[in-house]
Structure 1
Amino acid sequence: MASEIIPFNRPYLTGKEQAYTEEALRSRHLAGDGSFTRRCHQWLEARTGCAKALLTHSCTSALDLAAILLDLKDGDEVIMPSFTFVSTANAFVLRGATPVFVDIREDTLNLDERQIEAAITSRTRAIAPVHYAGVACEMNPIVAIARRHNLRIVEDAAQGIMADYRGSPLGAIGDLGSFSFHETKNIMSGEGGCLLVKDPALALRAEIIREKGTDRSRFFRGEVDKYTWQDVGSSFLPSEPTAAFLWAQFEQAEDITRERLAIWDRYHAMLATLEQRGLLRRPIVPGHCRHNGHLYYVLLPPEIDRGMVLGKLREAEINAVFHYVPLHSSPAGMRFGRSHGDLTLTTALSERLVRLPFWIGLQETQQQRICDTLGAILGR
């Protein structure tokens, strides 16, 4: 008898998404910035302590908005890891800036803060740390470097909602930050994201850029008697039904995080023996980082063919994937960016990483089957 297919991801619904979306439809306010959007903004500001939270179409568009806010121009540089999704680099390339890729840490696979300072030039304008798997970069040293060199920090916290670094919520440690609410994320609305603005001096301009470059939001608050074109901008607002869906997720964010951490912990316990046998390496989470159970990955030994492992897992009806092709080795990365150093760890670790199925509702028996199958493949 064939085994049940274990999908890589299955979006989680709290049960209130449909009711809140219908409430938004009944209100006849379908465009952005209605009552559900305001609730989401207030929740994000209270949770992170940022000066201003602004919902966007996606984390990609939040990063685009951040890049506009920085007033980047041709020839400017932004330091970031190569081990990240394309949006991290695209946002700055679209403004004419050059991504400068530096290597990652061996433990967390995050931007190696020890290599940032040597990559800084007279053209550097910002640092874009990416919190991989919801585990924080070493933000204290990064903030110190940024202050010494008068640089902005844009946190790509696409995977980082409900995670902390030394008690500070991810996304609101740097000047600007972003979350993703894509259906593969812990808290989701299908597509969606947000910009977090820590620096109050940037808050009003961020709001204007998000609203097509106008002061429309100030007009609706009664702060001006009419609204008009004030700055460059675009349309970054998600619809009110999207915000209503997201609000249902925010209401249960603590429960969602707790359930994901329980799944993560089960994987970690089940795979301990395989790590002791030298067949894989489990994720490393520093003690001062509170992660959010966003994903679970393993690193295979260098001599193991990852393609073979993924193929065998698929044959066993287990959908595992890898993550990411490093940007510095991609055609666009070589065209638009440059590397500082040889990025040895980025290249080596990215080729060994396997992401295991992970979603709320994944049963302990399914996890055991995944781990047993992986162990049997590697044990050969």
Structure 2
Amino acid sequence: MIPFNKPYMTGKETDYIKEAVASGKISGDGIFTKKCHRFFEERYGFRKVLLTTSCTDALEMAAILIDIQPGDEVIMPSYTFVSTSNAFVLRGAKIIFADSEAENPNIDASTIESLITPRTKAIVPVHYAGVACDMDQIMAIANKHQLFVVEDAAQAIDSFYTGADGVKRPLGSIGHLAAFSFHETKNIIAGEGGMLAINDERFIYRAEIIREKGTNRSSFFRGEVDKYGWVDIGSSFLPSDIIAAFLWAQLENIDDIQQRRRQIWLQYADSLLELEKLNILQLPTIPSYATNNAHMFYIVCQSIQQRTELIEKLKREKIHPVFHYLSLHKSPFYIGKHDGRELPNSDRFAECLLRLPFYYELGDRTKDVSSLIINAL
């Protein structure tokens, strides 16, 4: 059997969890949380990072930080996970869904400006499969209209964008805020877990308060105030140091993990290239400004029927691919709230995109998967 995903353990996770327990502090912001924070700030240049219990929580913190109010509008792709939208809907926002690009599921930046109204508050680009959106264009639009940009970088750890100025920037470091995921299906995992990256200094102090249930507890522990109390809205967004201990073992091995995943990605691409040349399916497209962090490997079938038949054939061979998102503008919850625009590229990816098994230990079994796809099509 080849499962869709298999969480990878480096071997140090349980050692560090025991160390966290032995330290006597297993609640949030312990020794391993601090190690993880320092790693991300130093390696990727994020101004400030805060681990969270999930990427969803990081997005919800972002919505609070940019002061989303009922009636505000937020532009984002329809082809994304529900958490991207929920974080802002929970604050009363109206979601204005944009279409994907024709070549990949990322938001079509050329359509964003036409969707802006006096109620628009933010743009939320989603770096699908860890591949960068056109951030120069998005930031230019945001700056022109004085909008916030929250990068949904759930899949984008260790991936980069090179702008027109030639500077290579980590995804998550370009917008005002960014949210990352360490769910077990991601490159770097903690079971569940996430992170808020803060690139605009004005949000740092309040982010710590929101994350600590609306209290200035972090300032108290740094000795900046003599007592702490309730000073703002917030929730319990910080994870246990046990989660951070697991994550730290992963971060110590990030280069090895990324190298192996890129090898697997290239094996898939090389094996299936002939099918793309024959126009039987489409392989992932990486724009010239983006890098590939090998978060996933997907194919785009010609139709939903072709995809359904391929899934059935692979499952009969005990190989488990999965389709991904459904267009949110057509979801039962939001279809009545959508403005009626057709988003054909989003719908095409919803009907035709298929994610192939992908995990660290897959190795040469990519050839088995590829061979069965070739034979099936």
Cα distance between partner residues in 2 of 1:99 and 1:257: 34
Using a 3 Å threshold, how does the CA distance of structure 1 residues 196 and 340 change in structure 2: closer, same or farther? Answer: farther
Cα distance between partner residues in 1 of 2:33 and 2:311: 41
- Residue 42 of structure 1 corresponds to 38
- Residue 197 of structure 1 corresponds to 198
**Mapped pair 1:341 → 2:341:** yes
Please report how far the alpha carbon of residue 161 of structure 1 lies from its aligned counterpart in structure 2 after TM superposition: 0.3
User: For 2:121, what is the secondary structure of its paired residue?
Assistant: strand
- Residue 333 of structure 2 corresponds to 332
**Mapped pair 1:355 → 2:345:** no
Please report how far the alpha carbon of residue 273 of structure 1 lies from its aligned counterpart in structure 2 after TM superposition: 1.0
Contact 2:321 2:355 in 1 (8 A): yes
Instruction: Give unmatched runs, 5+ long, in structure 1.
Output: none
- Residue 270 of structure 1 corresponds to 271
Please report how far the alpha carbon of residue 260 of structure 1 lies from its aligned counterpart in structure 2 after TM superposition: 0.5
Please report how far the alpha carbon of residue 340 of structure 1 lies from its aligned counterpart in structure 2 after TM superposition: 7.2
Cα distance between partner residues in 2 of 1:213 and 1:83: 33
**Counterpart AA for 1:373:** L
Contact 1:32 1:237 in 2 (8 A): yes
**Mapped pair 1:318 → 2:314:** no
- Residue 375 of structure 2 corresponds to 376
Cα distance between partner residues in 1 of 2:2 and 2:103: 28
**Mapped pair 1:108 → 2:104:** yes
The 5 Å alignment of 1:145-164 reads 145-164=141-160
Please report how far the alpha carbon of residue 304 of structure 1 lies from its aligned counterpart in structure 2 after TM superposition: 4.5
Cα distance between partner residues in 2 of 1:290 and 1:320: 24
Deviations 1:250-295 (A, max 9, x none): 1111111111011001100000111112211110101221121000
Please report how far the alpha carbon of residue 339 of structure 1 lies from its aligned counterpart in structure 2 after TM superposition: 4.6
Cα distance between partner residues in 1 of 2:259 and 2:109: 30
Please report how far the alpha carbon of residue 207 of structure 1 lies from its aligned counterpart in structure 2 after TM superposition: 0.7
- Residue 27 of structure 2 corresponds to 31
- Residue 8 of structure 2 corresponds to 12
- Residue 56 of structure 1 corresponds to 52
Q: CA RMSD in A?
A: 1.1
Please report how far the alpha carbon of residue 168 of structure 1 lies from its aligned counterpart in structure 2 after TM superposition: 0.6
User: For 2:21, what is the secondary structure of its paired residue?
Assistant: helix
Cα distance between partner residues in 2 of 1:323 and 1:72: 28
Cα distance between partner residues in 2 of 1:17 and 1:253: 13
Contact 1:125 1:152 in 2 (8 A): yes
Moved over 2 A (4+): 302-305, 337-341
- Residue 207 of structure 2 corresponds to 206
**Mapped pair 1:284 → 2:280:** no
% identical equivalent positions? 51
Cα distance between partner residues in 1 of 2:207 and 2:146: 20
Please report how far the alpha carbon of residue 332 of structure 1 lies from its aligned counterpart in structure 2 after TM superposition: 1.2
Number of equivalences: 372
- Residue 165 of structure 2 corresponds to none
Deviations 1:194-235 (A, max 9, x none): 000000111110111101111111111111111111111111
Deviations 1:234-254 (A, max 9, x none): 110100111001011111111
User: For 2:32, what is the secondary structure of its paired residue?
Assistant: helix
- Residue 126 of structure 2 corresponds to 130
- Residue 299 of structure 2 corresponds to 298
Using a 3 Å threshold, how does the CA distance of structure 1 residues 303 and 53 change in structure 2: closer, same or farther? Answer: closer
Cα distance between partner residues in 1 of 2:44 and 2:65: 20
**Counterpart AA for 2:346:** T
**Mapped pair 1:168 → 2:154:** no
* TM-score of the two chains, using structure 1 as the length reference: 0.96
**Counterpart AA for 1:279:** I
Contact 2:65 2:207 in 1 (8 A): yes
Contact 1:297 1:353 in 2 (8 A): yes
- Residue 232 of structure 1 corresponds to 233
Using a 3 Å threshold, how does the CA distance of structure 1 residues 339 and 256 change in structure 2: closer, same or farther? Answer: farther
- Residue 219 of structure 1 corresponds to 220
Using a 3 Å threshold, how does the CA distance of structure 1 residues 340 and 259 change in structure 2: closer, same or farther? Answer: farther
Cα distance between partner residues in 2 of 1:95 and 1:270: 46
User: For 1:100, what is the secondary structure of its paired residue?
Assistant: strand
User: For 1:354, what is the secondary structure of its paired residue?
Assistant: strand
Deviations 1:7-51 (A, max 9, x none): 100000111101000000111101000111011111111122122
Cα distance between partner residues in 2 of 1:117 and 1:107: 20
Instruction: Give unmatched runs, 5+ long, in structure 2.
Output: 163-167
Cα distance between partner residues in 1 of 2:154 and 2:349: 21
Contact 1:283 1:298 in 2 (8 A): yes
Deviations 1:53-92 (A, max 9, x none): 0000000000011101111111101000000000000000
- Residue 308 of structure 1 corresponds to 309
Deviations 1:121-158 (A, max 9, x none): 01000000000000000000000000000000000000
Contact 2:59 2:179 in 1 (8 A): yes
Contact 1:98 1:338 in 2 (8 A): no
Cα distance between partner residues in 2 of 1:13 and 1:259: 14
**Counterpart AA for 1:181:** F
Please report how far the alpha carbon of residue 108 of structure 1 lies from its aligned counterpart in structure 2 after TM superposition: 2.2
User: For 2:334, what is the secondary structure of its paired residue?
Assistant: helix
- Residue 61 of structure 2 corresponds to 65
After alignment, is 45-54 or 74-83 more displaced?
45-54
Question: For 2:77, which of 61, 81, 103 is the aligned residue?
Answer: 81
Deviations 1:326-347 (A, max 9, x none): 1011111224x52573101111
Contact 1:100 1:340 in 2 (8 A): no
Contact 2:304 2:351 in 1 (8 A): no
